[in-house]
Amino acid sequence: MTGDAARLALPERTVASRLIVVARAARADDYDAVLEALAAAGVRSVELTLTTPGTFEAFPRLRDRFGGEIDLGIGTVTDSAQLARAIEVGADYVVTPVTSAALVAQATAGGVPIVPGGLTPTELFSSWSAGASAVKVFPAGQVGPSYLADLRGPFPDLVAVPSGGVDLRGAEQWLAAGALAVSVGGPLLGDAFRGGDLGALRERAAAFVAVAAREGAEAS
């Protein structure tokens, strides 16, 4: 079964906040302090990436500590074994950088929302029609917010989350253009995973949270 009949909604906190922070660290031990700062700034959804060694092993502990405040997804999922492990450890959602109907079907069968990546209309519609919870427009910095309006012509129901190169102004523009949420990494995290000032991280995060909240209020 594909399409709306099988489509799983993303977690309510993620949808309400309209902001997903992509946390890509050198090691999983670095997650805690950054997640604490993000939670304090009002971030309610974080994607932990599999390019960070030890993410699977750290996930249950992080969910115990932060799950009451933050939806924790697992990203950079590229194959069936990784997806099965993400489901097993209890990811609130999964994100892939690729277009794969098989991964969409596996996640849906496992009861976990999935956001597959793609850039072309064919890739994005393929994932959406397979039953993805939303599609990740990646790398979003290569197309810009007007691309979403172009996609909405032939695909009016498409639910999109831009990712890759989305800065504060871009977040505002993508959300105003109708994105469900924005996925933000470097422009928000800066040097936080390299020993940077966590107070400055909280300030940057709070600025993104405010933009997302404002655009959410205007959309409603």
Tokens 């992080």 appear where? 62
Active-site residue, from 136, 172, 215, 218: 136
Structure tokens at 173: 């523009």
Active site residue 36: no
- For residues 62-92, one letter each, b for 16 or more C-beta atoms within 10 angstroms of the residue's C-beta and e for the rest, the string is bbebbeebbbbbbbbbeeeebbebbbebebb
Q: How many CB atoms lie within 10 A of CB 31?
A: 25
Catalytic residue among 12, 36, 47, 123: 47
Chain centroid, CA 11 distance in Å: 11
Residues with Cβ within 8 Å of 26's Cβ and at least 6 positions away in sequence, in order, are 52, 53, 193
Catalytic residue list contains 136: yes
Within 10 angstroms of residue 183's Cβ, the number of other Cβ atoms is 28
Q: Give the residue numbers marked as catalytic.
A: 47, 136
